[in-house]
Structure formats: C-alpha cells, structure tokens
Structure 1
Amino acid sequence: MVEWGWKSKLLMESPAASKYTQLYQYKPYLDENVAMTPWREKVSVANAISDYLRALHEYAADKILQEFGRSYSRNSFRYCLTVPAMWSDKAKDVMRKAAIRAGLITAFDHPDRLTLVSEPEAAALYCEKACKQYDLGHGDRFMICDAGGGTVDLIVYEISSTSQGRRLSEVTKGHGATCGSMFIDLNFGNLLIKKFESQDAKIPKNIIPAMVDTFAYNHKPQFGEDDELYLALPRNSFFDDIKDPKSIGIDGGFMSLKESELKKVVFEPVVKQVLTLIQEQLNNAKQCSAIFMVGGFGSSNYLLKRVKQEFGSVVNTISAPNRPELAVVCGAVYAGLNPKMVTARITRLCYGTDAGMNFEEGIDPERLKLRKSSGPLCTGRFSTFVRKGQKVQVNECVTKLYSFTKNKHGTSTYSTGIFAIDGDPPRYIDDVGVSELAKISISDPFTPSDQIGHKVSVEMKMYFGLNEIRTEIFVQGTKYIKQLKFDDRDY
C-alpha cells in the first residue's frame, strides 16, 4: 500500500495513476450472502482490510498521543470495531484476524481487549442517550435503522430500568441487506453512462467517478428538496466533444437532472429495499414506539421522508438523532466503556456439535451405528447448544461434557466441530442445510505414560449472548479460553 484515504484519490488523479490500482468497496466481500463480482486483485480482501486498519490505527494513535502526551501508551488502548449485523461468525473472525495483522492487538492479548459490536447495537447505545427527550422509558421498544454506505442493518431493542441504570435487550434478530447508499451512487453512475453513451461518447475512466463523488457529497444528502439537480461538471475536454449536450442536460458547465428521473432510476430501487426491511422488523417486534434513522444514508432527507410516509401512522416517533452519521462510532465508544449495557441478544442461527447418542433401531441409519459394550451408539448426531431466534443473556453459559480417547496415531491436537443451521435443530450433522462453522482444538491432553484408549474428560462452556461466540474449555481442571478456528481461505 502506497497511500490510503483521500490521498489515494489524489494519487489516482495524478499523471502517475496508471502505475497503481485503487482498492475500494471491498468490505462487502466479507458478507457471504452478497453476490459480488469476483475479486481479481493481487492483494486479498483480508489483507486489504489489514493494510487499511494499520494505516488508520497509526494515524489515530498518533493523534491521541499528541493530545494526551505521556498519559497513555498504546498498550493501554482498548479497541471496539463495529461490523454489520448480518455478518456471519466467519466474517467477524476475518475482521478480528485483520485487526491482529494490522497491529491493533496481538494474538496473545485477552479477547476482551478487542470487542466487535454490531453497527445497529452501537447506534442503539447512542440513541439510548436521546430516549428521554423522546419520552421513551421502561418497557418501550425502539428500532435502529442503520443505513450506511454498503449495508442497511436493523434491530429492535426494549428498554429496561434496573438498579444499575437503563439497560437494553434485543427483541428481534438483527438483520439487513447490502442496499446502502453506495448502490444509489452506482445507480447514478449507470444513469450518467447511459446518457453519455446515447451521444456515442467515449467516456474517460475518471469522469464518472468524479461526477458521482460530486453528487454523493453535495447533492445526495439533501435530495428531495428541489425539483431539479444541477451538477457541476469536472474540467475535461470530453464535454466539448459531445454532439448534442443540451439533449442530456449539459449547459454552461453544469448538468441538470430532473428530480422525477432521479427518484425513479437512482433512489427508489434502493429506498424500497429499506422500507421492506423496516416492515419485516415491525412485523417481528409486534410493538414499536420509535424508529431512529442513523448512519450516513440514514441522514438522507429523502429516505427519512419516505420512512415517515410509509410508517408514520403506526410508529409514533420517526427521527434522525443529532449527527446520525456519528451514531455508530460514538456508540462504539459507549460499548467499550460499558460492555454490559446490552443484557440479552437473539441468536441468528441454531448451533450445535457432533455427538454420539443412543442408537434407535428403525430411525437411525446403520452406517452411523457404532457398537459399544454399553450398547450401540449413533454417531454424527447434532447436539444442540442454542436454537435460532432464542433469547440468550450475555452471561448465559451452555455446558457440554465430552471425552477424548488417546489413540495409537499420537495425535498432537484433538478437536471437535461446531455446526450451524439457519433453521430448526436437525437430527444429524450431515443433514441438508447444516454446515461446519468452525473447529475447537486443544493440545494433546495426555501424558506419555497414558495407555492407548485412556480417556480424558473435557468440559466445554459456550457463550452465545456475546457479539462473538466464546468458548471456555476445561481439561482436568485447567481452563482455556479458545477462539474458534474458521476456514477463511476464501478471503
């Protein structure tokens, strides 16, 4: 990496631009549910994220140390990274590893030194501070619609007044879609391409990005207030060669576009997706007193107006709090200072592990039958930890007891798989829809004097109420805090 942030844009506008490749909009590639064009760059997505985090961290840390001097050292920093609510456990793991490669923390630090928080949850902590001015109290529910550049995440929380202060708990399973404001920009760019191609114009590669940037920063947030948009054109001889500029709205260094055209082609295809997501959350929540629009796209006047049109009759308060574009980052600070503000979360998937259970004749297939002196076992059964949609307290622990048997191959590590399904618990781990999410591995628990066949009892404690799955393994009284091992070769 030679440059990052706004300086990378300046570099791509210089005569040396042909020597470099500018990477952008690569975060959505971590979402396994989004259909993206194949990633063909030489640097992997995970390494691109690491490089960016390293540069951002160096910049931020230097600024903090300049401000506070010797009062702080980097070793005392605690980090909170926000991620989309719809990201998988695997995507979160990629982000954690990227942060380690970027030098924010080390692989040997306690996991709590880096906290991953969903973006709508961070926004909820920010909006909770504003709840009093909206007359929201104990038992009231509010929705966060975090509309950002790439994703739109939504979730509903319920307020509880406790002896320790106000607390939040999830009411609905957070969900969302990749339908953020970058897709408005893409729609706008495609509209410009269509107009220029109607003039048989050969478009220079930097023209569309420059015009989209002007639209995104100067016009998109206020769209909907005027009947017509006048876009300042970048200086380029390209516009002098257009056959009939007035036919596509170009005159005097500006390009005019009708509001009706922009609504139909640019905004509404994206806005309608957001409205559908909000309706789904309202259906699941049953009762909701307020909707808070946050994020960069959440500050859009047009989006806020459309949400009020659709849902103003069923939700009393629909508002964008002060500085909605800062809600997520400010809320992340609150999450870092008070990790126990959210007391319960809704599980996104059904989780379980591989287990041997009593074999049931006529039900279980013979291929899974394992004969034991105590009676036949059925291998490959799905042993459920938690069900999808289950409300789990943050400190709630699911405990399973297992045993490892020493084998003659001298295995140096012993592992068990964690399986997941987006639905009800299956009977077997190889049923349709079940995937192996990750593995939990421990070092060889046996001593050289242990005989082949010797068993060691293992106690596994799983925590699903956190933003990341956490595992504690107890082997003969020794406690290990283990990170799940994901297969992240795709990134």
Structure 2
Amino acid sequence: MLISEYELITNKFWLANFLTVDCGSGTVDLTTRQLLKNDKLGEKTIRACGFCGGVNVDKGFLAFIGGKIGPSVLTLLQEKHHGQLQYMVQEFCKKVKFLFTGNKEEYKTFELDLEDVCPIIKQYVTGDKLEQLENDDWTIELKFVDVKRMFDPVINKIIKLIREQLNNSGPISAMFLVGGFSVSKYLQKRIREEFSNKVKNNNIFVPPQPAAATLRGALEYGLNMKKIKTRRLPLTYGIELAPLWKPGDPPERRQTHNRIFKFRRLVEKGVEVDVNQEFGFELRPSFANQTELLMEIYSTTANEATYCDEPGMKKVGKLKLDFPNPRLGFQRTISFTLTFGQMEIRAYAKNQQGKITNATFVISV
C-alpha cells in the first residue's frame, strides 16, 4: 500500500500531507490528503481532475498519422476499419509510447510499416500523400521530436494541475504517481524535474504496478470506508428560501405575498468537513397560515450565490414536511439538517410535533 511505503521512510508520518496523482487513460485525478492518527485520512484540498490522461498521447499519434495519410483518410479508418486502426495504435504504444524516456540519446527512430499494421490504408490514400508513401515504401518514421510533441502537451497539462494543487495545499511530504499512464518514464522524469525541490526529501514515488495501485486503493477503501475522516466539499450547498422582498431586490423577482426566492447557503465549497458532520438551521413559515414546507436543496460551483437559477446551480433533491398548528403563525419552526456521509448527503427535517422526513442523495465529488 502507498502509505506503508511512506511509513518506511519516516517514523513520524502522521499529520504529514501527501499528494496522489492518478494518471489514468482518460483523466488525471489529484487528491491531497493528510495522514492522521489511528490510520485515518483527511482531505486537505478539493479534488482536481483534468482530461489529460495517456489516451491523449495516442490521439497525438493519430493526428501525426493523419498528417501523413490525410485527415479524411484517418476519418474513414476510424469509421470503417476501427480494428486495424486500433492495432496500429497498440503497436505504437508497445514499441514507442511505453518505452519513451525523453532522452534523445536513448531514442532510436521507429519505422512504422503501414502495410504491416494497417494494410487497408492503401485503398484510401490518394494524391501527393500516396506518391510520398509509395516513395517511402509505406513506412513512416517516428523521430524523437515527433514523439516528444505527442507527449509534451499532455504532460504540460498534468504539471499545471499538480502546480495548482500544490499552491492550494501548501508543503507536502510525499507525492505518489499511480494509474496506468504513470508507467511512462518520460512523465516521471518531467514531474521529478519540476517538483522534486517542492516535495520533502524529493519523495516522489511510483509503485511497481501503478495501475494495480489504483485498483487496490479503491478495494481497500470499499472494505474500510471509515478510513476517511474528513473531506473537502467540491460544491457549495444550501436551500431555496422565500424571504420578504426588499427595496433593492430585482422587481421582476417579486412574488406573491411580497416574497422573493433566494439561495440560503448552508456550507461553502472548499470547507473541510468531518464525515457525518451536520449543518443546519431552523426554518419558519413564509406566511402565517402555511401548512406544509417544501425544502429544495441546491448545490453550486460558486462559493456564494443569491438565486437558485444562477449558472452552476443544480437541484440536488427536495423534502416536504407538514407545518401543523397554523394558529401559531410565524412562531412555528422546522429544524433542517444536511449531513455529509462517506458517499452520500442525508437531508433531515423535523417539526415541533416530532414528525420527521428525510432523504439521501449521492454526493458530488
């Protein structure tokens, strides 16, 4: 396990922050956690994600091939001969991508024989492209600079994600590279060049089987979800209320009974919360003879919001509860609470007569 590897290099590992960079095929996911006592983990920053996984190097390779055979031919292969095209990509991965270190002295120009890896291609290439390929015996050379250009835009995005995460987390004691794309020696080299002096004692680790490390971590978490003590909320949560409309509020938002619908924040994006920590307040009727209350729960990507129809706002769910004894008017209350669990949000409401309603929603990560 990754934490055990870190424990080997320090006897005082708890309260240390570490960054996990999961470089998968499609996405790269980053999480900064803190090692706590009793084998617990806390989340120190909002998780970050980017669509800059290893498959984007493959896309760069296909774009390079498209330049040699023509974009329209590449499109035809993708639509009609996907199997042969994928075989060509697999050959590139096996013989170039997985071996590329970024050291020019170590690289030997690779010759890709199109007749061997994608024979159907000869039926589609025309014009100047056909003449050039025939002169080259249907062989395409992948030089060092060509391969480097396939990698660099992808790795630059990963480095940018890591830099942003470190800016948010502050100093870290270790960085772990996991996921299938982490086997790339060039990716490892670039990350070490960029961040070794920003990680305590140059502690940047790659497990022997990076892809398996991701699966093992997911399995261990599934078997022991209590290991996570805190998380950083990726969204702001709250409910829609109907306070009195006041001068200065938009006239077009004025409702009946001189009310206006507004967003009331319960907990802000980026706050570190304990698992099962509760956030709530007491609600009162919007008008004296109200007999039930509808509580609509919203999330937003913004730290603060005023209205529930703003960009980035999304309805999470709703609860409805009776508001009995209308003779008591505005003196009645309902207690409303949101609780953030391991993988879910629990909404809970209780009126003064003890009647309860609740619901569970999947948490956004």
Q: Matches of residues 329-478 of structure 1 in structure 2 within 5 Å? A: 329-357=215-243, 361-365=246-250, 378-402=259-283, 415-430=294-309, 432-433=310-311, 435-442=313-320, 445=322, 458-464=334-340, 466-474=342-350, 477=354
Seen in structure 2, the aligned counterparts of structure 1 residues 198 and 333 have a Cα distance that, compared at 3 Å, is closer
The residue aligned with 2:359 is: 482
The letter of the residue matching 2:145 is S
Seen in structure 2, the aligned counterparts of structure 1 residues 259 and 485 have a Cα distance that, compared at 3 Å, is closer
Q: 2:194 aligns with which of 301, 307, 310?
A: 310
Asked if residue 186 in structure 1 is aligned to residue 63 in structure 2, the reply is no
Asked if residue 150 in structure 1 is aligned to residue 26 in structure 2, the reply is yes
Residue 321 of structure 1, CA deviation: 1.6
Residue 158 of structure 1, CA deviation: 1.3
Q: 1:262 aligns with which of 138, 142, 147?
A: 147
Q: Matches of residues 37-186 of structure 1 in structure 2 within 5 Å? A: 126-135=1-10, 137-161=13-37, 165-186=38-59
> 2: CA distance between counterparts of 1:248 and 1:181?
30
CA contact (8 A) 1:154 1:175 kept: yes
> 1: CA distance between counterparts of 2:362 and 2:220?
29
> 1: CA distance between counterparts of 2:71 and 2:272?
55
Residue 239 of structure 1, CA deviation: 4.8
> 1: CA distance between counterparts of 2:230 and 2:72?
58
Seen in structure 2, the aligned counterparts of structure 1 residues 429 and 326 have a Cα distance that, compared at 3 Å, is same
The letter of the residue matching 1:214 is E
> 2: CA distance between counterparts of 1:174 and 1:187?
27
> 2: CA distance between counterparts of 1:231 and 1:274?
28
Asked if residue 211 in structure 1 is aligned to residue 88 in structure 2, the reply is yes
Asked if residue 227 in structure 1 is aligned to residue 104 in structure 2, the reply is no
Q: How many residues are treated as equivalent by the alignment?
A: 343
Residue 362 of structure 1, CA deviation: 3.8
Residue 400 of structure 1, CA deviation: 3.2
The letter of the residue matching 2:297 is I
CA contact (8 A) 2:301 2:313 kept: no
> 1: CA distance between counterparts of 2:357 and 2:68?
62
CA contact (8 A) 1:415 1:439 kept: no
The letter of the residue matching 1:127 is L
Higher helix share: 2
Seen in structure 2, the aligned counterparts of structure 1 residues 181 and 235 have a Cα distance that, compared at 3 Å, is closer
The residue aligned with 2:174 is: 290
CA RMSD of superposed structures (Å): 3.8
Q: TM-score, normalised by structure 2?
A: 0.79
The letter of the residue matching 1:169 is G
Residue 280 of structure 1, CA deviation: 0.5
The residue aligned with 1:300 is: 184
> 1: CA distance between counterparts of 2:154 and 2:7?
32
> 1: CA distance between counterparts of 2:315 and 2:25?
28
Question: Any idea what SS the aligned residue of 1:129 has?
Answer: helix
> 1: CA distance between counterparts of 2:182 and 2:250?
53
Q: TM-score, normalised by structure 1?
A: 0.60
Deviations 1:73-128 (A, max 9, x none): xxxxxxxxxxxxxxxxxxxxxxxxxxxxxxxxxxxxxxxxxxxxxxxxxxxxx422
Residue 473 of structure 1, CA deviation: 4.0
- Pair member with larger Rg: 2
Question: Any idea what SS the aligned residue of 2:204 has?
Answer: strand
Identity rate, percent: 26
Residue 282 of structure 1, CA deviation: 1.1
The residue aligned with 1:16 is: none
> 1: CA distance between counterparts of 2:136 and 2:156?
27
Residue 279 of structure 1, CA deviation: 0.6
